[in-house]
Structure 1
Amino acid sequence: MSGAQAARANGAGRRIYEHIRAQIAEGIWGVGARVPSTRALAAELGVSRTTVSAAYDQLAAEGFIVTSPGRAARVAAVAAGASLANGTLARRATKHRPAKLSAFGQRLQAMRFTPMPASAPLPFDFLYGAVGARDFPSMSWRRAYLAAMLDLQSRLYYAPPEGDEGLRRALAGYLGRTRGLRCLPEQIVVVNGSQQAIDLCARVLLDADDTFVFEDPGYSMARRCFEATGAQGLNVPVDEHGLVTQDLPDDHRVRLAYVTPSHQFPLGGTLPIARRQELLDWARRQCAWIVEDDYDGEFRYGQHPIDALASLDTDGRVIYVGTFSKALSPQLRLGYLVLPTELQEPFQKAKRLTDRHAPVLEQRSMAALIDSGAYERHVRRMRREYERRREALLGAIARELPQGTEILGAAAGLHVVMRLPLTGLGAELALITAARRRGVAVYPLSTSFATDARSSPSQGSAFVLGYASLSSTQIVEGVRLLGEAVRELSGSVLD
């Protein structure tokens, strides 16, 4: 049989299957009714008996008819309360109890998440967390990935939950060189991005009657992970230097503190050594864990990156969270934890229960990039490039935006916070709307606070401007258009 003939036979068989199924749905053939023999139906329709037999086999496999050798096929009993329509199984409308969710599910349902940005970005999108596709080291990654694919394994099976040994060994060396963090490969667990690392910390370390310390403002997706356990957040304020450690609570229920000490998200402060020591002392007194999220620690401008808080930890209280999302791509979904010795086993087991392990080929490709030096060369190149984009952003803001505009957190990372001299409860939304009309997307700082910062008109309007995914030319033009939007609003009353 040629390919065209086979396609026609398959199409005819599908139509026969759908026709008989629809007749059963409409009650034309009731339960127990005989259906035509394959020979008779084939003769009636002018198709081969094989085509009809294939359709009957499919109906029997799905439970619509019952067949047996030497006996006529009959309509089977369809599940009670169900009807068939348009080729789908549809439940008749009946009264039923609402779906019951677990306490965890109910907490998730009640949470308000920041909407995901549109899949088609505006021409000048200052989205934090996005990096430029053109900046990805495609050739280096392709070579490493192909080499990993050609390195044939004797068998394909699940990998260790803690991650590929080669990547963990490479990471231990990299962290020692770049973050001042001395650790063993055995302390590292490779995860699907820093978000999974934070989620594992929440699941392993918090119960519903516990509390946790959180920076305010801070990274809202981490806050949601901890809140989903039922634990209560204790919000500690942030100033230009980061977490205000003198406000750390003396509460026996506190089990952990989540911090971003190298580049506080979103305000950008760097926690000074005195406060770092105060935080470590507090954790020791409280018997609490510190989750250090080092989300973009590689990118500090004009000086060497600050060593990780974990490098100062002598008591085994700090859990270090690292990621490749900012240096390479958030779509790669590779991150890692560096754990105190006593937490290695429970975190490995939690990772195994969650999703077995992170993708192996990506892990081996990443290990090859680090071992060859290509990853660190890429980071140095991008640090220089991001510094140029940052300078373009700061220069454009100085030219285009009104006097009194304040910039925070520009010394490091891939975003700044811009506070504008626009007040009034409607100012933030009004500027977002006016900017979008000009093809510019900006994102409010207010969503990073534990409570709605927009409730106070005296706070002004502040925005988190990410610049990693834009070229210098796009940044300059985007800020120019944003300046137009600001000037439009400055002449109106915002209340």
Structure 2
Amino acid sequence: MMLKDKKYKYQLVYERIKEQILAGNYQPHEKLLSKRKISEQFNVSINSVIVALDQLIVEGYVYSLERKGYFVEDITRYDLDDQEWSGLPAELKEQPIERPYQTSFSHMASNMSLFPYNEWLKCEQKAIQQFNNELSHLSHQQGPYIVRQTLAQHLNFKRGVRCEPEQVVLHSSSQALMSQLLELFDDAPHTIALENPGYARYKALIEDHGWDVLTVPLDEKGFDVERLQNQDVQLVCVTPAHQFPMGMIMPISRRFELLNWVNVPQERYIIEDDYDSEYKYETAHIPSLQSLDRSQRTIYMGTFSKTLFPGIRISYMVLPPNLLKKYKEKFNHLIPSCNTLNLYTLHFFMKDGYYQKHLSTMTEHFEEVRKCLIHTLEEAFDEDLNIIDVPAGLHFIIHYNTERSYAEILECAKNESLEIFSLERFYLTPVEDEDDGRYFILGFASLQLHEIPYAVKKLKNILNR
């Protein structure tokens, strides 16, 4: 109680003297009362006065001269000092939302119920013990070497990616990696080709960097390479393992077409976004496009958002040597963006076999959920619903025959607390309204098996209105 009382008294003295100085009751360089008189004035101890005066000196209100006392600083008046703080505008206020939807078909969500928390915590403890010294310093800008080494080995084994640890760049998001990648090219006008439909956030980011965007439509094989003919394009961004959002897997003939396009004297590159390639059902894993590239013109990008969880915030890219040199010259001054403890934990999680075991568990689980969802949809709907199913990833497309607009259906879903995304959301350029029905993306990663009948029933009620 005594300590709290003394602290309160020091604050009282500090606040009163500061208020008097700011109110202009003292002139610049005017001497304050002595410590003894201030203590008598406020009925506090001299120690409390000394603490208050020391704080005022630190903040620049007062200065002291040895054996002469304390004096008021010459303080510049703040022109808006009398203006009251109006608070945050109403349109910027937020309301906390625990879970906006009761049922979700989101393609971005994950299932945390099966995550091996105990194993992750074991790896985290191991990281703290073995990398205690490294954690007390900033790591390499691209991420700790040993983590990049482990990831490079994993990518080579699972996806055939040919790279050295030096080529791996770790970051907190794929968008940030894309932003850095664009800055590796000179300031001349450039064009990047994107799949349409595709990842709309990339389009906005790319245009913010001053690049032109060529939207390329899809056919049954995915990205239509012929559309690049006679186009001055420097970069192509594709999702060959599981096109987003349509889901098709790019066949080998189309991959070779793309690699032939990039293999020219001009500086061209392919960005291979391998966002959810770990999940394949009924088929073996397909080698990455980068593994086929002999010209070293493919930039491989991936994330742990799908295989671990979005909140982990770990993404990566593998740069060809020519771009790696530019990257080191341009971004060597930056501090690392990822949580270093998470990176070292991930290192042990992969090295000790937990990651592969987790992938196997989740692949088996998601395959069961996917099959159950498709079976339930087929039983619940008649011929008005068409399922465009590809045995890969964590979502598929449905097509429903209706004349109702996307806006009507989505508003109805919102009112029924069902989260669902229309294909229209992912068109990069405006398209005419489909006259043969509506397309929706059904993500199933966050669904539990017991939730599927209720989720499908709710979806049917919304679409049939």
Q: What is the CA–CA distance in structure 2 between the aligned matches of 1:450 and 1:468, rounded to whole Å?
A: 25
CA-atom RMSD, angstroms? 2.7
1:48 corresponding residue in structure 2? 45
Q: What is the CA–CA distance in structure 2 between the aligned matches of 1:63 and 1:401, rounded to whole Å?
A: 74
Contact 1:264 1:270 in 2 (8 A): yes
Q: How does 1:178-217 map to 2 (within 5 A)?
A: 178-205=158-185, 207=187, 209-217=189-197
2:317 corresponding residue in structure 1? 337
C-alpha deviation, 1:209, in angstroms: 0.9
Q: What is the CA–CA distance in structure 2 between the aligned matches of 1:330 and 1:399, rounded to whole Å?
A: 32
Q: How does 1:174-323 map to 2 (within 5 A)?
A: 174-205=154-185, 207=187, 209-252=189-232, 254-285=233-264, 286-323=266-303
Gap regions ≥5 residues in structure 1: 92-114, 489-495
Q: What is the CA–CA distance in structure 2 between the aligned matches of 1:11 and 1:464, rounded to whole Å?
A: 60
2:89 corresponding residue in structure 1? none
Contact 1:207 1:229 in 2 (8 A): no
C-alpha deviation, 1:486, in angstroms: 2.1
Contact 2:101 2:419 in 1 (8 A): yes
Q: How does 1:338-417 map to 2 (within 5 A)?
A: 338-356=318-336, 358-401=338-381, 403-417=383-397
Return the letter of the residue paired with 2:325: E
Give the match's secondary structure for 1:300.
coil
Q: What is the CA–CA distance in structure 1 between the aligned matches of 2:196 and 2:320, rounded to whole Å?
A: 26
Q: What is the count of residue pairs matched by the alignment?
A: 455
- Larger relative contact order, structure 1 or 2 (CA cutoff 8 Å, min sep 6): 2
2:453 corresponding residue in structure 1? 476
What is the CA deviation profile of residues 389-435 of structure 1, one whole-angstrom value per residue up to 9, with x for unaligned ones?
A: 212322333244463223335421111223332335xx222222222
Q: What is the CA–CA distance in structure 2 between the aligned matches of 1:354 and 1:130, rounded to whole Å?
A: 31
C-alpha deviation, 1:308, in angstroms: 0.5
Q: What is the CA–CA distance in structure 2 between the aligned matches of 1:18 and 1:422, rounded to whole Å?
A: 69
Higher alpha-carbon deviation: 361-370 or 202-211: 202-211
Q: Does 1:79 align with 2:76?
A: yes
Q: What is the CA–CA distance in structure 2 between the aligned matches of 1:122 and 1:231, rounded to whole Å?
A: 37
C-alpha deviation, 1:133, in angstroms: 2.1
Give the match's secondary structure for 1:451.
coil
Q: What is the CA–CA distance in structure 2 between the aligned matches of 1:277 and 1:256, rounded to whole Å?
A: 16
Q: What is the CA–CA distance in structure 2 between the aligned matches of 1:332 and 1:201, rounded to whole Å?
A: 22
Q: What is the CA–CA distance in structure 1 between the aligned matches of 2:400 and 2:415, rounded to whole Å?
A: 19
Q: What is the CA–CA distance in structure 1 between the aligned matches of 2:139 and 2:343, rounded to whole Å?
A: 11
- Residue identity over aligned pairs, in percent, reads 29
Contact 1:172 1:185 in 2 (8 A): yes
Q: What is the CA–CA distance in structure 2 between the aligned matches of 1:149 and 1:480, rounded to whole Å?
A: 48
Higher alpha-carbon deviation: 139-148 or 463-472: 463-472
2:424 corresponding residue in structure 1? 446
Contact 2:184 2:323 in 1 (8 A): no
What is the CA deviation profile of residues 165-200 of structure 1, one whole-angstrom value per residue up to 9, with x for unaligned ones?
A: 322222232222211223322322222233332222
1:434 corresponding residue in structure 2? 412
Contact 1:159 1:357 in 2 (8 A): no
Return the letter of the residue paired with 1:256: L
Q: Does 1:133 align with 2:112?
A: yes
Return the letter of the residue paired with 2:53: Y
Q: What is the CA–CA distance in structure 2 between the aligned matches of 1:350 and 1:207, rounded to whole Å?
A: 14
Gap regions ≥5 residues in structure 2: 87-93
Change (3 A) 1:307 1:232: same
Contact 1:215 1:237 in 2 (8 A): yes
Return the letter of the residue paired with 1:126: F
Return the letter of the residue paired with 2:41: E
Give the match's secondary structure for 1:383.
helix
Q: What is the CA–CA distance in structure 1 between the aligned matches of 2:61 and 2:419, rounded to whole Å?
A: 54
Query: Taking structure 1 as the reference length, what is the TM-score of the superposition?
Result: 0.84
Q: Does 1:12 align with 2:20?
A: no
Contact 1:22 1:85 in 2 (8 A): no
Corresponding residue to 2:125 among 121, 125, 146: 146
C-alpha deviation, 1:244, in angstroms: 1.2
Q: What is the CA–CA distance in structure 2 between the aligned matches of 1:403 and 1:28, rounded to whole Å?
A: 85
Query: Taking structure 2 as the reference length, what is the TM-score of the superposition?
Result: 0.89
What is the CA deviation profile of residues 444-482 of structure 1, one whole-angstrom value per residue up to 9, with x for unaligned ones?
A: 3222222244x6363743332222122122233222112
Q: What is the CA–CA distance in structure 2 between the aligned matches of 1:423 and 1:18, rounded to whole Å?
A: 69
What is the CA deviation profile of residues 96-120 of structure 1, one whole-angstrom value per residue up to 9, with x for unaligned ones?
A: xxxxxxxxxxxxxxxxxxx9x9653
C-alpha deviation, 1:50, in angstroms: 1.9
